[in-house]
Amino acid sequence: MSIFAEQFPTEAVTRETARIFLCGDVMTGRGIDQILPHPCDPLLHENYVKSARDYIRLADQVNGRIPRAVKFSYIWGAALQELTREQPDARIINLETSITRRGAFVPKGINYRMSPENAVCLVSADIDCCVLANNHILDWGHAGLFDTLESLERLRIESAGAGLDIDQASAPAVLDLSGGGRILVFSVALVTSGVPVSWAARSETPGVCLLTDLSDASVARIAGRVGRLRRTGDVVVLSIHWGPNWGFEIPEEHRRFAHELIDNAGVSIVHGHSSHHPIAIEVYRNRLILYGCGDFLNDYEGISGYEEFLDDLTLKYFASVDLTSGNLPELDMMPLQMQRFQLVYASSEDFDLLMETLDRESRKFGTRIIRKPDGRLALSWPHDQAERRLESALHESSSPQG
């Protein structure tokens, strides 16, 4: 029997569900940092672009001039309206940007950072938790990681996935829910997303919670961490940075690993990211698997070449989770688009294109994407298919034999 069948003592939970906002990569460095009120030194160490301001100039040519020294809330645009309308219980993002002004960069080609003063932009969206196990959080070395952790603590934003040692990096963010219950957010990264092995946190070494494989042993380690902390009424989110930036293919080992996290580690939501565009969604045993949420905020507006992946479109995910069963009653989504480094509502044509693309990819896993009357997208799946089969089998076994 799984350890997750055990009942853990806890305070009474007086609510039935939790509503969670999730999204993919939030890259508030480079060009975006430069339009906020207190930018870092714009010097870059890339092969072709030497100033972060060049990304602004490239984007200026696409949708018109981007304002400078904008309010901290500017970049979120229409996302704030949706968050206000939805009022989720928790807001979780993958922060793929170091928060630091330090200049000792890691020579890896692309380095993201924003100033600690500009990190207030996260507060303007009331972000509750930043997952940090990704391939940019140590772009400015251990010093940049220290500054990031310090800034998030100062802003009272929880974090998971990186720390001063392996214990801190593997510990979850704990988000308390009004009315009882908690959300435990674990964050891990896989080497396939571009995280150097040298970035792995160890007993006396800062870094990220890094998986070198998707083996049964990796599942067991995660299950052990969850089992030591999980109690009745908790929702477990496992946020994982994995796979390449482009393409819709879901490796079979990703699917197997996600299923085992649900089967053996008590995970309610597998929150995948690294892909620069949204990819397939699966529901397994009534638990949510987001294989790749796509970028949410970036400065790619002036970069061409990936139009086939609808790279300028993004999704807000609002998942409801039953606090008793850990199951998914519903998932709503809202397509948005980056224009002038600000999220706006997608056009009707782009809305339909993203819906059709995501539906095509998710259909392979038994789920469908449908349009709701309120103008959002929703996930559709056979919630009770397994239950109906079981009831049918029980009925047939108890029927008189002719």
Cβ atoms of 227 and 278 closer than 8 Å:
no
Q: What is the pLDDT along the chain (402 residues), one digit of tens a residue?
A: 344 434 444 456 778 999 999 999 999 999 999 999 999 999 999 999 999 999 999 999 999 999 999 999 999 999 999 999 999 999 999 999 999 999 899 999 999 999 999 999 999 999 999 999 999 999 999 999 999 999 999 999 999 999 999 999 999 999 999 988 999 999 999 999 999 999 999 999 999 999 999 999 999 999 999 999 998 889 999 999 999 887 889 999 999 999 999 999 999 999 999 999 999 999 999 999 999 999 999 999 988 876 776 778 999 999 999 999 999 999 999 999 999 999 999 999 999 999 999 999 999 999 999 999 998 999 999 975 544 443 344 444 444 443
Both structure tokens of 190? 């896989």
How far apart, in whole angstroms, are the C-alpha atoms of residue 378 and residue 349?
18
The residue behind tokens 């799946």 is 381
Cross-strand bridge partners of residue 374? none
CA gap 112, 98 in Å, rounded: 6
Is the distance from CB of 105 to CB of 213 less than 8 angstroms? no
CB 144 within 8 A of CB 98: yes
- pLDDT value at position 269? 98
What pLDDT is recorded for position 12?
64
300 contacts: CB under 8 Å, gap ≥ 6: 276, 311, 312, 338
Residues facing 339 on adjacent strands: 342
User: Cα–Cα distances in Å, from 121 out to 109, 342, 397?
Assistant: 26, 12, 60
Do residues 291 and 250 make contact, with C-beta atoms less than 8 angstroms apart? yes
What are the φ/ψ torsions at residue 393 (nearest 5 degrees)? -65, -40
Q: Give the count of alpha carbons within 13 A of 193, CB side only.
A: 28
Regarding beta strands 269-273 and 342-345, do their DSSP bridges make them parallel or antiparallel, or are they unpaired? unpaired
Residue 278's φ and ψ, nearest 5 degrees, are -60, 140
* CA 394/CA 168 separation, integer angstroms: 48
Among 345, 366, 390, residue whose Cα is nearest residue 282: 366
Chain-centre distance for alpha carbon 62: 27
- Please count the residues of the chain: 402
The residue written with tokens 């853990």 in the block is: 8
Which tokens hold the place of 265? 């580690």
Residue 371 tokens read as 């349009």
Q: Determine the pLDDT at residue 399.
A: 44
Angle (CA) 237 330 240, round 5°: 25
Question: What gap in Å lies between CA 120 and CA 92, rounded to an integer?
Answer: 16
Place of tokens 């580690």: 265
Percent composition of the chain: helix, strand, coil (DSSP 3-state, to 5):
30, 25, 45
CATH 3.60.21.10 fits 15-398, yes or no: yes
